[in-house]
Copies of this chain bind each other. A is one copy, B any other.
Amino acid sequence: MEWISKSKILIVGLGLIGGSYARALKRLGYSVTALSRRQETIDYALREGIIDAGSAAVDEALVGEADAVIFALYPGVFKDWIRENQSLLKPGAMLTDVTGVKSCIVYDIQEMLRSDVEFIAAHPMAGREVYGVENSDERIFRDANFIVTPTARNTDKAIDWCRSLGKLLGFRKVSVLSPEEHDEMISFVSQLTHCIAVALMTCSDNQHLVDYTGDSFRDLTRIARINDVMWSELFLLNKEPLLRQMDIFLKEFSELRDLLAAEDREGLCGKMRLSTERRAYFDR
């Protein structure tokens, strides 16, 4: 990985994920710079030694000298940045991102991008219920998956580069999926589960039940503390796959409800045996 050992890496958007990338890459000895909207974020990261240099404005020098640029922005902001600032990128630069949805963004970025730089998309499936560079921590990658989502436009070199990046960051597993496969998968394992947690939490004002909740209720609603701006954007950008999953879940849940209403003991047992059997795959 000689190519990367000489790289200067620029991170655009120094929040929880961008900050965690910065920490990991800096510890590995790379030159890491950052652009982020708030000056306090840059000051904090410099003070903590998370980055070597940074700016709250789009700095021509920082962008122009970066061999690799990692975009850790909201999807809409990411597109705007490319549209407005791509002329500053170094010829031959490798770009990647951390966006949680793929089809809606990968093709658009590749379509509008200069032909002498390459964008290879990725989704680090890691996170916390807190935000900001102050909470960044590279340990969140250790038990997590890193998904590279190339299109037909991507070179093998870029795909290899991005897989290496996932490994360098310390992810447990690095996989390659098409943007469409990724979005279908994420709609089920992440977005649907967040919808369920939110709906369970908004069912009623259950403050008086705090004393009686056990682990199961707490486990199901942990992710009900949610960044509304980010997640509503991710849901809307992945609307069709997520609606399909929500409708499948609604049908399953309604079937269970109707079995109970009909007092169909054998039917209820059948659903429970199936869920028990399938859950066994997921025990590691």
A170 to B272, CA, bound (A): 31
A250 to B203, CA, bound (A): 9
**A187 → chain B closest CB, angstroms:** 11
Oligomeric state, in number of copies? Answer: 2
A223 CB–B CB distance under 8 Å: yes
A160 CB–B CB distance under 8 Å: no
A224 CB–B CB distance under 8 Å: yes
A258 to B194, CA, bound (A): 16
Q: How many residues on the A side are at the interface (Cβ–Cβ under 8 A)?
A: 88
Q: Are A228 and B279 in contact (CB under 8 A)?
A: no
Residues of B within 8 A of A229 (CB): 269
The segment from A5-13, A58-66, A148-156, A213-221 that touches chain B is A213-221
Task: Provide the A133-155 mask, 1 if CB < 8 A to any CB of B, else 0.
Answer: 00000000001110100000000
A56 CB–B CB distance under 8 Å: no
From 213 to 247 in chain A, residues with beta carbon under 8 angstroms from any chain B beta carbon are 213-229, 231-233, 235-236, 239, 242-243, 245-247
What residue of chain B has the Cβ atom nearest to residue A221's Cβ?
Answer: B279
Interface centre among A217, A229, A263, A272 (most CB of B within 10 A): A272
The listed residue (B199, B215, B247, B272) touching A252 by CB distance below 8 A is B199
**A271 → chain B closest CB, angstroms:** 6
15 A-B residue pairs with Cβ-Cβ distance under 8 Å, sorted by A, are: A175-B211, A188-B204, A188-B206, A189-B217, A193-B217, A196-B253, A197-B216, A199-B252, A202-B252, A203-B252, A228-B268, A228-B270, A229-B269, A243-B261, A246-B253
